Amino acid sequence: MAATLQIHEMSALTTGTDKTSGTVRFKDADNATVDTNNPLSVPAAGSIYSYTKQLRVKMTDPPDTSVSNLRWYTDGGNTFGTGIGVVVFNRGTDWIANYKTQMATSADLFGYVSAATAFDGDVTDTGPFLPADDDSYIGDLIQLQMSVASTAPHRTLTAETLTLAYDEI
Amino acid sequence: MKISEAYKWEAEKRDGTIITKGGNLQDCVRFSLLPQINLPKQDIIGIPMIRRFGRGFLRQNFQTTEMLPGFLHWQNGSNQIKTENDLTDIVTPGRLIKKRHDGEKWWLVIDVKPDLITILKPYDGKTKRIETRIYIVPPKPEYLHCVVCKGFRLYVKSSDGTVLITPENYELNL
């Protein structure tokens, strides 16, 4: 039987909400609820930052043999628009409570694209992941944050998609 | 059914043994993808095979709705909504739209013209010129079966049975 994996938005190292084919909304609050509350407002000067988001993969059905090669990527095009960015950092298995100050270490999420340079998702918690890992979180915590600069227009953002790819045998 | 189970696979070794687990195909003379739903069957026969694997793709959005450009004119009792911009590139029949605020009902679009959107049922609510949201279709997962053969790879998409043949070392990501 093929494995079942899910993308979870984490509220602790091993606690999360399934967001597979769902939505992670960057907001000015620390929760996984998808609504229009706590929007990120364009500042008069400088930049503001969303609360960080942390994603991790959960195995909910085991593979026949193993799952490996977890990698995250985008289409490479930031259509959020002027003044709006999303950065990413691999936290390994080092859970930290979400915060809304600027992430100290990070890279542009949209620099990770499928054909060239996907973001490696199993650097610390390395694969292959086995049937014994069923019903547990696998791979690393992927931390994300949105920034909104004063140059951003006032509007609702267009959609962007984050993809997780994995291999299994 | 999970998309990763749209096909089951089996391979036949030279001695006639059938295998359904693992990745090594070096002793195999046949590899078959057996559809579990309405998809084309795929067989590889008479070609030296090396290994197989599955490749899954999961996706999530950063938004659930998008705001449509301009304003729409919602009129109580009417199933026609006038638009101030040509939205035919964005709004198509089958999509859902609603007035901008939380708690508003979604309405199913059945026809779109440059200056008019028609919804299935007459709108019941306050007549208003207001910004309008369109529901973003959730991204779907995909699952590829890959067979690495001498000289090429064969990828089969589980969503529609499409076959993609690539160079032997090409890593296909969708």
CB contact set of A126 (below 8 Å; sequence gap of 6+): none
The residue-averaged pLDDT of A6-24 equals 92
Residue A47 buriedness (CB in 10 A; 0-12 / 13-18 / 19+): middle
Q: Is residue A116 pLDDT above 80, yes or no?
A: no
Which three-class secondary structure state does DSSP give residue B42? Answer: strand
For residue B64, give the DSSP letter. S
For chain A, positions 75-104, list CB contacts with chain B under 8 A.
86
From chain A, pick out residues whose CB is under 8 angstroms from the CB of B136. Answer: 159
**Contact B70/B100 with Cβ under 8 angstroms?**
no
pTM reported for the whole predicted model: 0.87
Q: Is residue A114 pLDDT above 90, yes or no?
A: no
Smallest CA–CA distance, residue A3 to chain B, in Å, is 8
- Smallest Cβ–Cβ distance between A20 and the set B21, B22, B60 belongs to B60
The answer to whether domain B65-135 has CATH 1.10.287 is: no
* Alpha carbon of residue B68 to chain centroid: 23
The verdict on a CB contact (< 8 Å) between B61 and A160 is yes
Chain B touched by A36 (CB under 8 Å): yes
Using alpha carbons, list the distances in angstroms from residue A101 to A7, A12, A47, A69, A104: 25, 19, 10, 31, 9
In what helix (H) or strand (E) does residue A164 lie, and over which residues does it extend?
Answer: strand A161-168
pLDDT at A136: 96
Torsion of CA B99, B100, B102, B104, to 10 degrees: 0
Q: Is residue A79 pLDDT above 70, yes or no?
A: yes
The residue-averaged pLDDT of A142-146 equals 96
Task: Supply A80's token pair.
Answer: 């959020």
The verdict on a CB contact (< 8 Å) between A159 and B136 is yes
For chain A, positions 125-154, list CB contacts with chain B under 8 A.
none
Q: Is residue A73 pLDDT above 80, yes or no?
A: yes
How far apart CA B45 and CA B49 sit, in angstroms, is: 9
Domain-by-domain residue ranges, chain B?
3-58+141-166, 65-135
The verdict on a CB contact (< 8 Å) between A168 and B52 is no
**Contact A4/A59 with Cβ under 8 angstroms?**
yes
The residue-averaged pLDDT of A62-69 equals 96
pLDDT at A81: 82
